[in-house]
Every structure is written in structure tokens, then in C-alpha cells.
Amino acid sequence: MNKEVNEKRCYKCKEAKPLEEFHNDRRCYADGKKGICKPCRSKQYYENNTEYLKQYSKQYYENNAERKMNWQRQYRKRIMSEGTACVYGLYLKEDIKYIGETLCLERRKKEHHRHLDAPRSHRNKKLQEEFDKHNLFKDDVTFKILVEFNKDEYESEELLKEALLVEEAVQIAAHKERGVDLYNSNDGGPGGEL
């Protein structure tokens, strides 16, 4: 009777894992897989090549600085031409929990959803804790525009951003004055965290 083996124990982390978690290597073992799992091998590679990887990253940045700046300019131009610039409220269920500002609400919504869906990923720890504690889902997070800005009224992105930050501070202060418990980290100052 030929019994098929579907898992293997990694010699590094000592965990039994499915064979898909190991790189192929015909020279190794009867199952044709390496003895170390992919995550451990990746970690081992980084530890063994830390200095090289840092140097490579630095060199890549220096060689592509102009290209990156051009990409950022194009990105900013696109953001300024599309989407809604506003100060918004983020609601968990029906309660406002966070006030933020953005040049493009549609993009910011996606960022909030992506970070909240991944455990312990959102930079605003209080917001993440509330989301996790009540086992909320993406549908439980809603956004409402508190103040919308017309992008055409501002000569530059910097002036628009400054106006957004001022209005955000005003909205945070007004909500706190009414006794609303917000999860903005800086208690009424401009610029919350994502």
C-alpha cells in the first residue's frame, strides 16, 4: 500500500506544514522538497544578506530617484483631477469614531477598509481595537462627508491641503465640544492618522 504524504515538518520552525509550503528541490529528500519551509527560508535569507539587501535598496533608490519623483508628480496630478476633496467622518455602525481629511475620499475609503480588515494593521490603534472587539466587517464602516472642497478654487495642492487640515481641526474640536468620543490621536489638532 502506497501512502501519499501531504505534509512535512520544517527543520527550522519544527512545524508540520503542507508540502506547498516548501520549495521544490529534486536533489533533496524523497519527496523532492527542501527541509526548510518558505517563510523560514525567506527569513534566513534576509538574516544572511541584510547588509547586501540594504545596500541594494539604497542603490536602487539613488538610481531611480528621478523616475520615482515623476511617478509621484503624475500620481498627485491624477489625485487632484479625480475624487472628492473633503473632511470626512468615519462611522463604526452608526457612531462617528474618527474625523479625517483627504484629497480623494474614494481612495481613502479603500485604504481604511484595507487596513481595518487586516488584523492589527491600522495605524490608529483605538479604531482598530474597536473594529476587532466588536467583530465588525467592512460593511459596518461608513463614511460621510462633513465638508466638501472644490479643488478648482485652490491654486495648488499645498493650499488645498492646508485648508483641509484647518477644517479638520475645526470639525474635531466641534465634535469634542459636543461630547463625542473620537479616536483621533491628536485631540483636536490637524492631521489625524490613517
Structure confidence by residue, pLDDT tens digits, 81-105: 778 899 999 998 888 899 999 988 9
User: Residue 61 pLDDT more than 80?
Assistant: yes
| Assigned domain for 184 exists | no
Q: Spell out the residues 6+ positions from residue 106 whose beta carbon is closer than 8 angstroms to its own.
A: 82, 83, 84
Contact 194, 115 (CB under 8 A): yes
- In this prediction, residue 3 carries a pLDDT of 57
Q: What percent of the chain has pLDDT over 70?
A: 91
Contact 85, 149 (CB under 8 A): yes
Do 38 and 97 belong to one domain? no
Output phi, psi for 159, to 5 deg. Answer: -65, -40
pTM of the model: 0.58
- In this prediction, residue 186 carries a pLDDT of 52
User: Residue 164 pLDDT more than 50?
Assistant: yes
Q: Spell out the residues 6+ positions from residue 107 whose beta carbon is closer than 8 angstroms to its own.
A: 79, 83
- How far apart, in whole angstroms, are the C-alpha atoms of residue 13 and residue 39? 9
Do 33 and 87 belong to one domain? no
| Assigned domain for 143 exists | yes
Structural domain boundaries enclosing 11: 7-48
CATH at 118: 3.40.1440.10
Query: Domain count of the chain?
Result: 2
Do 155 and 99 belong to one domain? yes
User: Residue 158 pLDDT more than 60?
Assistant: yes
| Assigned domain for 13 exists | yes
Instruction: Read off the pLDDT of each residue in 131-149 and give the average, rounded to a whole number.
Output: 88
Q: Spell out the residues 6+ positions from residue 124 whose beta carbon is closer than 8 angstroms to its own.
A: 98, 183, 184, 185, 192, 193, 194
| Assigned domain for 116 exists | yes
Task: Report which listed range, 48-52, 69-73, 152-156, is most confident.
Answer: 48-52
User: Residue 30 pLDDT more than 80?
Assistant: no
Instruction: Read off the pLDDT of each residue in 138-146 and give the average, rounded to a whole number.
Output: 89
Do 95 and 158 belong to one domain? yes
- How far apart, in whole angstroms, are the C-alpha atoms of residue 172 and residue 183? 10
Question: Residue 123 — pLDDT band, cuts 50, 70, 90?
Answer: confident
Q: Which of 129, 150, 131 is nearest to 142 (CA)?
A: 131
Instruction: Read off the pLDDT of each residue in 36-57 and give the average, rounded to a whole number.
Output: 92
Q: Spell out the residues 6+ positions from residue 140 whose beta carbon is closer than 8 angstroms to its own.
A: 92, 93, 134
Q: Which of 118, 123, 130, 126 is nearest to 93 (CA)?
A: 130
Contact 7, 15 (CB under 8 A): no
Do 88 and 168 belong to one domain? yes
